[in-house]
Amino acid sequence: MQLRNIAIIAHVDHGKTTLVDKLLQQSGSFRENQRVAERVMDSNDLEKERGITILAKATSVVWNDIRINIVDTPGHADFGGEVERILSMVDGAIVLVDAAEGPMPQTKFVVGKALKIGLKPIVAINKVDRPDGRPQEVINEVFDLFAALDANDEQLDFPILYGSGRDGWMALTPEGPKDEGLGPLFELVVKHVPPAKTEDGAFRMLGTLLEANPFLGRIITGRIASGTVKPNQSIKVIDREGKLVETGRVSKILAFRGIERSPIEVGEAGDIVSIAGLVKGSVADTFCDPSVDTPIQAQPIDPPTVTMSFIVNDSPLAGTEGDKVTSRMIRDRLFKEAEGNVTLKIEESADKDSFFVSGRGELQLAILIETMRREGFELAVSRPRVVFSQDEDGNTLEPIEEVVIDVDEEYSGTVVQKMSERRAEMVEMRPSGGNRQRLLFHAPTRGLIGYQSELLTDTRGTAIMNRLFHSYQPFKGDIPGRINGVLISNEQGEAVAYALWNLEDRGPMVIEPGWKVYQGMIIGIHNRDNDLEVNVLKGKKLTNIRTTSKDEAVRLTPPIRMTLERSLAWIQDDELVEVTPKSIRLRKRYLDPNERKRMKGKVDVA
C-alpha cells in the first residue's frame, strides 16, 4: 500500500484537531453510529479542559487504497519541542490558517521549521463561514510570511483550499461546492505530497515520541527510515554521537490504524510505527539493526528560556493532602518527564532538596506542575526566571520574544504604555479589522512574566496575546516588579471570618474562612508596598449584651482566586507557591519572621 506522511500545522484555536476529527470520520475510520469524543486527538484531561493540544499525536486514514499518516501538532510555542521532532517524520504539511485572524506567531514558528527542512506546504484557509472572514487578504499574508521565512520558489507555489473544518468541507473557492466534503483535501494530499521517503539498507528509525504503557513498558514512536522490523527481532539503540545505549529485542510493533493502535507483523520503511521492548532508548536516539553504526541526525532543538526551582514541600501542612512528597519521588518524576520531552532540562541542587527545571515558557512548566499535582505530588515552586546567556565579550544576553497583541482601538494606548514600561520595543501597529489594532513588539521574556492577567484586566478581557521566542539580545535593564506588599499570617490554625472581615481595609484576601493557615503563609495583598503580619485566627469576643449595633453581620468580599499560572506570575523572588493535589497556597520562602528579616535582600534565587 502506498504511504503519505503529513503534519497539520496551525496556530492555537485555528481548528487543527477539529479538522482531524472530520478527516477520520469521512475516511470511514469509525462507524456512522460510533460514539466518539469531540476533538478525539486531545486525549489527556488537561488538553480537554484547556482546549489546546499539548502533545503531538499521530493517526492514520485510508483514502482510495492509499494510507495517509496524519500528525496533529501543538500550536503553542511552549510545546515547540514536540513540533521540531515531529517534522522529521513527515514529507508534507497542511498549513491551516483562520480566515479572519490570518497567520499568527505560532504558525510562523512551526512553518519556519517546516520550510527549513524542505517540506512543501498545502495552505488551507479554515472558518471561511466567519462573518469577519477575509480569505483573499489572508492568502496574501501567508505568501508574505513564506517569503519572509526564505521559502524557495517551489514552496511559494503552494496549492490553496478554502473550507470549514467544523462543517467538514474543503473546496477550491470560498463559496464551495460543499457537497464533496473533505475529498478535495484528500486528493490534494495524495497528488502534492511525495510518497514516504525510504532508503536502502538495514532497519533504522529515529525515536520521536516516548510514552510509558502499564502493559508494554516504554513505547517509542518514529518513522522507519530504511529496512523492516518484526516482533522478536534483535536491535540496538545508539545515541546522537553513535555510542551504544543498549541492545534488546522488539516485543511488539504497533501501527496507527484510525484512532486505534493495532499490533502488526512487520513494520516497513516509510511507515510511522511504535515499538515496545526496550528499556533505555529515548527520544533522538537511533533504533537500528545491530550491523548499523551511523545514527540518523536529529533536528536541533531551541534552548530553554525560562527556569524554576521545584522544592520539597517543608510547610507545616506538608504531607496532609498528597502522598508523593519526598525528594526521591519528585526527582524520579522530573527525570522521567525530561526523557520524553527534550526541551526540558533538569538540574539537581547541591542539597538534593530542590531541582532547577528549565523549559520554553511559563505555560509548559505550569502544565508539568498541574500534571504532577493531579498525580498526587506535593511540592513548592519558585517564581519563573529567565535563562541568561553570555556573548564572546562576557556581556549578559537575555531572551527576547516577538509579541503580537490584537486589541480594541480604545485600549491600544494602555497596552503600548504598559509594554514600554516592560522594556518592549514596538515594531509594527496596523488595523486588523472590526475597530481592532494588531500591535507587534519585541519584548524581554522577563517583562512578560505575569503580564497576561494584567493585559486582560486592562482591556476588559478583549485582548489576545501571542508570544514567540525571537533571539538573545543585550540585557535591557531593570523592569519594575510588583508594587504591593502582602499580608502574612502570624499563627497556625483555621482562618476566622470575623478576623478576615476586620482586615478587609488592609487589602483584598486570597483565602476563605475555614482555610488552614500557618505562620509565614500569604493570606492577602497589602494596600501598601510593605509586608504586614496579621492575625487571621482572632474570633469575636462574646458578651451578654445584645444590640443591633454590636451584632453587625459579617459580610465578606469574595477573595481573589489565585490559579496556578496567576500565582507563579504574581509571587516575588522571596516567595513560593505551595502546590498540593487539593490546594494552591502562597507562602514566604522563610516562614519564621526573624529568619525572614535576617535573610532580607540576600534571597538565593538560583
Report yes or no: 56 and 209 within 8 Å, Cβ to Cβ: yes
Query: Is 13 labelled a binding residue?
Result: yes
Of the given ranges (10-24, 210-224, 277-291), which has the lowest mean pLDDT? 10-24
Query: Is 600 labelled a binding residue?
Result: no
Position 301 confidence tier, pLDDT thresholds 50, 70, 90: low
Query: Is 18 labelled a binding residue?
Result: yes
Query: Is 128 labelled a binding residue?
Result: yes
Confidence (pLDDT) at 526: 93
Q: How far apart are the first and last CA of the chain?
A: 55
Confidence (pLDDT) at 48: 47
Instruction: Of 44-48, 119-123, 218-222, 428-432, give the range with the top mean pLDDT.
Output: 119-123
Side-chain-side CA neighbours of 125 within 13 Å: the count stands at 29
Position 484 confidence tier, pLDDT thresholds 50, 70, 90: confident
Locus of grid cell 496524519: 70
pLDDT digits (tens, 9 = 90+) for 307-361: 999 999 999 998 888 888 898 999 998 888 887 677 788 888 887 788 999 887 7
What are the grid coordinates assigned to 212, written together?
510509558
Query: Is 98 labelled a binding residue?
Result: no
Q: By C-alpha distance, which of 19, 27, 3, 58 is closest to 193?
A: 3
Instruction: Indicate whether 38 pLDDT > 50.
Output: no
Kindly report the length of the chain.
606
What are the grid coordinates assigned to 32, written together?
456512522
pLDDT: which is higher, 23 or 109: 23
Instruction: Indicate whether 605 pLDDT > 50.
Output: no
Confidence (pLDDT) at 35: 41
Mean pLDDT of the region 518-532: 91
Instruction: Indicate whether 54 pLDDT > 70.
Output: no
What are the grid coordinates assigned to 293, written together?
553504526
Average pLDDT of the chain? Answer: 82
| Backbone angle region of 507, left / alpha / beta, with phi > 0 → left and psi within -120 to 50 → alpha | left
Position 28 confidence tier, pLDDT thresholds 50, 70, 90: low
Q: What structural domains does the chain harbor?
A: 2-192 (3.40.50.300), 204-288 (2.40.30.10), 389-474 (3.30.70.240), 486-575+584-599 (2.40.50.250)
Of the given ranges (105-114, 125-134, 199-208), which has the lowest mean pLDDT? 105-114
Query: Is 563 labelled a binding residue?
Result: no
pLDDT digits (tens, 9 = 90+) for 440-479: 999 998 888 878 778 888 888 888 787 777 888 898 888 8
Position 561 confidence tier, pLDDT thresholds 50, 70, 90: confident
- Bridge partners of residue 527, in order along the sequence: none
Q: Collapse the DSSP code of 533 into the 3-class scheme (helix H, G, I; strand E, B; otherwise coil) and give the result.
A: strand
Confidence (pLDDT) at 104: 74
Distances (CA, A) of 560 to 128, 144, 461: 40, 44, 17
Burial class (CB in 10 A: 0-12, 13-18, 19+), 203: buried
Confidence (pLDDT) at 524: 92
Confidence (pLDDT) at 494: 92
CA max distance for the chain: 96
Query: Is 302 labelled a binding residue?
Result: no
| Backbone angle region of 319, left / alpha / beta, with phi > 0 → left and psi within -120 to 50 → alpha | left
- Classify residue 185 by its DSSP letter: H
What are the grid coordinates assigned to 171, written together?
473546496
What are the grid coordinates assigned to 563, written together?
490559579
- d(C-alpha 533, C-alpha 557), whole Å: 20
Instruction: Indicate whether 40 pLDDT > 60.
Output: no
Instruction: Indicate whether 544 pLDDT > 90.
Output: no
Please report which residue ranges of 459-548 form alpha helices under DSSP H: 497-502
- d(C-alpha 366, C-alpha 347), whole Å: 18
Query: Is 502 labelled a binding residue?
Result: no
pLDDT digits (tens, 9 = 90+) for 148-205: 888 888 888 889 999 888 888 888 888 878 888 888 888 888 888 888 777 788 899 8
Confidence (pLDDT) at 300: 64
Confidence (pLDDT) at 310: 92
Instruction: Indicate whether 47 pLDDT > 50.
Output: no
Report yes or no: 201 and 227 within 8 Å, Cβ to Cβ: yes
HEC sequence for 297-335: CCCCCCCCCEEEEEEECCCCCCCCCCCECCHHHHHHHHH
Confidence (pLDDT) at 36: 40
Q: Collapse the DSSP code of 512 into the 3-class scheme (helix H, G, I; strand E, B; otherwise coil) and give the result.
A: coil
Query: Is 16 labelled a binding residue?
Result: yes
Query: Is 597 labelled a binding residue?
Result: no
DSSP-assigned letters across all residues of 374-402:
HTTB-EEE---EE--EE-TTS-EEEEEEE
- d(C-alpha 394, C-alpha 319), whole Å: 45
Q: By C-alpha distance, which of 238, 244, 308 is closest to 567?
A: 308
Of the given ranges (10-14, 136-140, 197-201, 215-219), which has the lowest mean pLDDT? 10-14
- d(C-alpha 33, C-alpha 311), whole Å: 50
Strand 2-10, strand 66-72: pairing = parallel
Instruction: Indicate whether 577 pLDDT > 90.
Output: yes
Instruction: Indicate whether 77 pLDDT > 70.
Output: no
Q: How far, rounded to the nearest angstrom, does the alpha carbon of residue 184 sit from its chain's CA centroid?
A: 32
- d(C-alpha 13, C-alpha 96), whole Å: 10
pLDDT: which is higher, 61 or 549: 61
pLDDT above 70 coverage of the chain, percent:
87
Instruction: Indicate whether 80 pLDDT > 90.
Output: no
Instruction: Indicate whether 506 pLDDT > 70.
Output: yes
Of the given ranges (47-56, 164-173, 424-433), which has the lowest mean pLDDT? 47-56
Distances (CA, A) of 121 to 79, 110, 189: 21, 12, 10
Position 518 confidence tier, pLDDT thresholds 50, 70, 90: very high
